[in-house]
Structure 1
Amino acid sequence: MLDLLIRGGTVIDGTGAPGFSADVAVEGGVIAAVEPLPPDTPARRVMDAAGKLVTPGFIDIHRHADAAAFRPGFGELELRQGLTTIVNGNCGLSAAPFGPAHREEILAYLAPITGEAPPELETETLAGYFASQPPAPIHTGMLVGAGVLRADAAGYALQRLEKRHYDAIHRSMERALSDGAVGVSLGLGYAPECFYTTRELIEALRPLSGGDVPVTVHMRQEGAGVVDSVREMLTVARTLRIPLQISHLKAMGRDSWGKKIPQVLELLEEARQEGLDVGCDVYPYTAGSTQLLHILPPEFLAGGMEAVVRRLSDPAARRELAERIQSGAGFDDIARLAGWDGIYLTSLHCPEDHPYLGKSLAEIAAMTGQDPLTCCCDLLVREQGEITMIDFMASEEDITAILQSPLSHLISDATYPTEGMPHPRVYGTFPRLLQHFVREKGALTWEQAIHKMTGRPAQRLRLAGKGVLAAGMDADLCVFDPEEFRETGTYQEPCRMAAGMDTVLAAGVPVLEQGVLTGARPGRIIRR
């Protein structure tokens, strides 16, 4: 007898193929059949899905919930947008593995992105991290962050690594992969990986050479230098013969809109045709979110957070910073690309700074009677660098072009600071794609969009059993009315749950049923 029979829905199976009417049978946590079944088919439970879509559970391979997975109530905001599988450890910033030598430095650097690490979170090995993670209603996987591996081996100093450093990085990388990491993530826009030359980066990734371990990358530049950054990563992929995934592809700054992304997509397509395993992903918003520190050029990030704060307290260093921002040479100059009026502060810890939450640096500078750069530096010093921002810098036309590429899929890049206002993408990325880019704009069909939320990301990270609704696959499922599923949050009020997701199954267990959480926690750790 079947555990569950979902009757009469329109199945969109995650492959991109046209939707079709079928019943979906579930038994033992696995999909038993996807086809019209006789009326007398025995099942312990029957669910009527008439007028609704039945799809694979949605997959987000780019979140930063490494520490949030330990918080009470974790999983609800993900379930309400249909997510059954997420992957953390992105942008080189994984919450493991690292030992005691640089532990406090690393945790301080991670905090604005992942939030504060709870005491029970194990950091020394990925196996320990997995063992310490509490039961959840959704499945979670982990990338090993190459930035954390470098910081563990050599700290945040701007230096040329020695053989002993590379040996330590290689050992940690290999152990993390043995522990079950689903890939390796790079954060070349962040310290300490921004200090790598291309040759040094290739050496750091040497253990992956000729293998099938995916490498995801937050590139060195995503503004005027985005095309050259893609060329750099294609050089790395060709040299090492590795699968490459460009994370959150964009072209920051009005001067790049409509110009850079067509070049990037052409480069990726050419690489695919020559046999490279390449792809990209994108979030469906024109604003990003990251550390305010990301406005600084690489040399200002050397030495860890204490060194950064000391540097920003020095009047001579501030004058140098002003000159670097004015020239914008060699880094993503977000202060110019987004403008001071396009950078909004979303987490601030000091009570005296709380009135500035949700305001732009231009607004805060006016409130304090300062110029924006002085205001920005004072805040970073006072807050010890632990500030997150939302920066408006991308073009919806570019986002549409990326979404329409067969090489792309959807991600959220959701960050989870402990305090403040998150980006609305944390709560609303997946309904936004269907609501805005399918229903309103018609930029994608339902089948194309579902594929970019299920089958495509599962294929990119080799997530076995995930992403396709077919017999033998894991019974991770969504059932919803396509006209009712929607994002409800805004930039001003981001912490609003998505609406309209009816029922979600993880491993064949209802975790959201008729819009109500069941309390079940069947989520599994996904290991490579």
Structure 2
Amino acid sequence: MIDLLIRDGTVVDGTGRAPYAADVAVENGKIVEVGQLPEAHARRVISARGKLVTPGFIDIHRHADLAAYRPGFGQPELRQGLTTIVNGNCGLSAAPIRRSRRAEIAAYLQPICGQMPASVSTDSLAAYFENQPDSPLHTGMLVGAGVLRAGAAGYALERLEEKHYKAIHKAMEQALGDGALGVSLGLGYAPECFYTTEELMRALSPLAGQSIPVTVHMRQEGGGVLEALEEMLTVARKLRIPVHISHLKAMGRDNWGVKIPRALSMLEQARQEGLEVGCDAYPYTAGSTQLIHILPPDLLTGGMEAVVKRLQDKGVRRELAARIEDGCGFDDIAKLAGWDGIRLTSLHCPEDHPYQGKSIAEIAALWGQNPLDCCCDLLVREHCEITMVDFMASEEDIVTILQSPLSNVISDATYPTEGLLHPRVYGTFVHILEHFVRERGVLTVEQAIHKMTQKPAEVLHLPGKGVLAAGMDADINVFAPEKLHQPGTYENPCCLAEGMDYVLVDGAVAVEKGKCTGVKAGRILRR
């Protein structure tokens, strides 16, 4: 007698194959058979009549490094069908962090990952894993190259010395040995934005010729997105490494409909050359990141204290105003999104809490200031620890990326400890099925499921994940697609997704009749 049988469902197996009627048998956390099983007997039977049965969804781009240590972690993820997530993205992993740099790096991570509890062990990735609490879903980690560089040289130094590269290489190799699934880059953030292309390749040289995945938040995602992509294709060619472009987009109305088709063509040409490259996208026209990301990279030199001091200088502000107006050489989010398209979502000073959810333009009007001075004053007072939601992308570009065979779905969910979250934390994967499949019809259900299961599992080489087939892990979703709904909005984002009837993690029922059971069957996934 088997442990569990899901009977009479419509299987969408993750491969892109058309849906088909089948039963799914589970034993000891594994799928043992998929097909017509009228004679099968099980200790428990779940009826899936009129419902889809799919692999558990996989999000390879989240920032829950520290959220994984918080009480109640996993409910927003499970309720949208996620059974596996990967953290440590955009060069911003919570480990490994050299002890002498912990406070400095933790402060930089805070707007993205939230406050670092004292209980989190960060000396090594092995220590981080050892102390990670039991989880209701599987978690894995990339090692952030930005944190490796900050650990070796801090945030102030622009040009590294031989000793710094040796320290980066040693820490990278140790983290990979501890089980990191790959290496993430954040070339839009300090201190990685200071690398030249040659210096970046030197930092990544231990990976040369290996199959270890490298994911990258590129140097630019607006007017310079194609040049940034060409840089990463150069890195892939010269080092002979897999490169995956994180949250591909073309910010700014002037770039919509123009840059993304060309970027996808460049990626396809690289694949025809034999390079292992691809991309992912989140299904929202607004992103979320640190407010300091509106600044040109050279204004980020010297660490946060230097940035704060610099932003108090009226001459620097005049220069910054001119550069924002010109918009050349960096991701000019203030111009690409507009001051009215930048909403502040986490502010730490009590006197600033009333401004959460308001745009820079709105706050400036309340203060009787121009938007740039308002923004700089806030950054100074908040010591640059502000998170924003910025409206800068085109839904038609998102559709173009999602329809490409090169892409998979991600959320890029960030987890600041206070303030407003982005609705993608709670609803990305249901939103894909509700909006892009059911409402717009731009993806078939089997295409969407493939991009949320097998495709991301292939990107990070996750064995046993992403396909409903005998021998695979029993991470399984059961749901009626017409009942899926993401109620969250930008104004009220913290709303659990609706419609997942059952979610199984390693064969254990983590969601039953739409409610989380509290079962913690998740494992730490190591390379």
Q: Taking structure 1 as the reference length, what is the TM-score of the superposition? A: 0.99
Identify the residue that residue 450 of structure 1 maps to in structure 2. Answer: 449
Aligned to 1:95: 94
Check the 8 A contact 1:126/1:181 in 2, yes or no: yes
Residue 157, structure 1, aligned to residue 156, structure 2: yes
Other structure's SS at 1:439 match = helix
What are the ranges of 5 or more consecutive residues in structure 2 without an aligned counterpart? Answer: none
Distance 1:337 1:432 in 2: 25
Corresponding residue of 1:3: 3
The aligned amino acid for 1:319 is R
Letter in 1 for 2:151: D
SS of 1:186's partner is: strand
CA distance in 2, matches of 1:481, 1:6: 14
Q: Deviation of residue 485 (structure 1)? A: 1.1
Aligned to 1:272, what secondary structure does the other structure show? helix
Letter in 1 for 2:223: A
Q: Is the 8 A contact 2:79 2:516 kept in 1?
A: no
**Kept after mapping to 1: 8 A contact 2:510/2:519:** yes
- Contact 1:30–1:474 (CA<8 Å) still a contact in 2? yes
Corresponding residue SS for 2:280: strand
Give the distance between the partners of 1:60 and 1:214, measured in 2 at CA: 15
Give the ranges of 4+ consecutive aligned residues of structure 1 lying more than 4 Å apart after TM superposition. none
Deviation at 1:187, TM superposition (A): 0.1
Give the corresponding residue for 2:112.
Answer: 113
Q: Deviations over 1:461-515 (max 9, x none)?
A: 0001000000000000000011001111001100000001110000110011111
Aligned-pair CA distance for 1:303: 1.8
1:28 corresponds to 2:46: no
| Cα distance in 2 between the residues matched to 1:274 and 1:206 | 21
The percentage of counterpart residues that share the same residue type is 71
Q: State the alpha-carbon separation in 1 of the partners of residues 406 and 325 from structure 2.
A: 36
Q: Aligned with 1:323: secondary structure?
A: helix
The yes-or-no answer on 1:428 pairing with 2:427 is yes
Aligned 1:414-493 pairs, distance under 5 A:
414-493=413-492
Amino acid aligned to 2:88 = G
**Cα distance in structure 2, aligned partners of 1:480 and 1:105:** 44
Distance apart, 1:352 and its partner CA? 0.9
Does residue 66 (structure 1) correspond to residue 70 (structure 2)? The answer is no
1:317 shift after superposition: 1.8
**Aligned residue in 1 for 2:210:** 211
Tell me the residue number matched to 1:338.
Answer: 337
Correspondence for 1:363: 362
The amino acid of 1:445's aligned partner reads: T
Aligned to 1:311: 310
Please report how far the alpha carbon of residue 351 of structure 1 lies from its aligned counterpart in structure 2 after TM superposition: 1.1
Note if contact 2:142-2:181 (Cα within 8 Å) is conserved in structure 1: yes
SS in 2 for 1:413: coil
- 1:110-509 equivalences under 5 Å are 110-509=109-508
| Structure 2 match to 1:16 | 16
CA displacement, residues 234-289 of structure 1 (integer Å, 9 cap, x when unaligned): 00000000001000000000000000001100000000011000110000000000
Q: Which residue of 1 aligns with 2:77?
A: 78
Three-state SS of the structure 1 residue aligned to 2:308 is helix
Give me the whole-angstrom Cα distance separating, in 2, the residues matched to 1:306 and 1:75: 35
Q: CA deviation at 1:102?
A: 1.7
In 1: Cα distance, 2:63 partner to 2:304 partner:
20
2:47 aligned partner: 48
Deviations 1:105-160 (A, max 9, x none): 11000000000011111111000000111001000000000000000000011421
Aligned amino acid, residue 112 of structure 1 = P
Aligned residue type for 1:421:
L
Q: CA deviation at 1:304?
A: 1.7
Structure 1 residue 101, shift from structure 2 partner: 2.4
Q: Which runs of 5+ in 1 are unaligned?
A: none
Separation (CA, whole Å) in 2 of partners of 1:282 and 1:508: 29
8 Å CA contact 1:89, 1:144 repeated in 2 = yes
Letter in 2 for 1:29: G
* Alpha-carbon separation, structure 1, partners of 2:69 and 2:484: 28
Q: How far 1:25 moved relative to its partner?
A: 0.2
Distance, in Å, in 1 between the alignment partners of 2:513 and 2:354 is 40
Q: Distance in 2 between matches of 1:512 and 1:308?
A: 46
Structure 1: distance between partners of 2:99 and 2:11: 50
Q: For the residues of structure 1 that align with 2:179 and 2:205, how far apart are their CA atoms?
A: 19
**TM-superposed deviation, 1:307:** 1.5
CA-based RMSD: 0.7
For residues 308-360 of structure 1, what are the alpha-carbon distances to aligned partners after superposition, in whole Å with 9 as ceiling and x for unaligned?
11111122222222222122221000000000010000001111111111010
- Residues 376-424 of structure 1, C-alpha deviation per residue, up to 9 Å, x if partnerless? 0000011111100000000011000000000001000000000000111
Tell me, in whole angstroms, the C-alpha distance in 1 between the residues paired with 2:156 and 2:382: 21
> How many angstroms apart in 1 are the aligned matches of 2:185 and 2:377?
30
The separation in 2 between residues aligned to 1:321 and 1:158, in whole angstroms, is: 22
**CA distance, structure 1, for counterparts of residue 299 and residue 131 of structure 2:** 35
Write the letter of the residue equivalent to 1:366.
Answer: A
Using the alignment, how far apart are the partners of 2:105 and 2:169 within structure 1?
A: 19
Separation in 2 of the partners of 1:214 and 1:516?
Answer: 35
**Cα distance in 2 for residues equivalent to 1:357 and 1:98:** 31
Could you give the per-residue CA deviations for residues 425-448 of structure 1, whole angstroms, max 9, x where no partner exists? 110100110111101111000000
Rounded to whole Å, the distance in 2 between the matches of 1:176 and 1:324 is 39
- The alignment of Structure 1 onto Structure 2 pairs a total of residues equal to 527
CA distance in 2, matches of 1:67, 1:78: 15
1:300, distance to aligned residue in structure 2 (A): 1.1
Q: Distance in 2 between matches of 1:509 and 1:101?
A: 41
The residue type paired with residue 375 of structure 1 is C
Distance, in Å, in 2 between the alignment partners of 1:449 and 1:46 is: 27
**2:42 match: secondary structure:** coil
Find the aligned partners of 2:40 and 2:194 in 1 and give their Cα distance: 62
Letter in 1 for 2:504: L
For 2:315 and 2:12, locate their aligned partners in 1 and report how far apart those are by CA, in whole Å.
60
Matched letter for residue 437 of structure 1: F
- The answer on whether the counterparts of 2:7 and 2:24 sit within 8 Å (CA) in structure 1 is yes
**One-letter amino acid of the structure 2 residue matched with residue 24 of structure 1:** V
Contact 1:158 1:299 (C-alpha < 8 Å) held by counterparts: no
How far apart, in 2, do the equivalents of 1:517 and 1:299 lie? Answer: 47
Shift of 1:60: 0.1
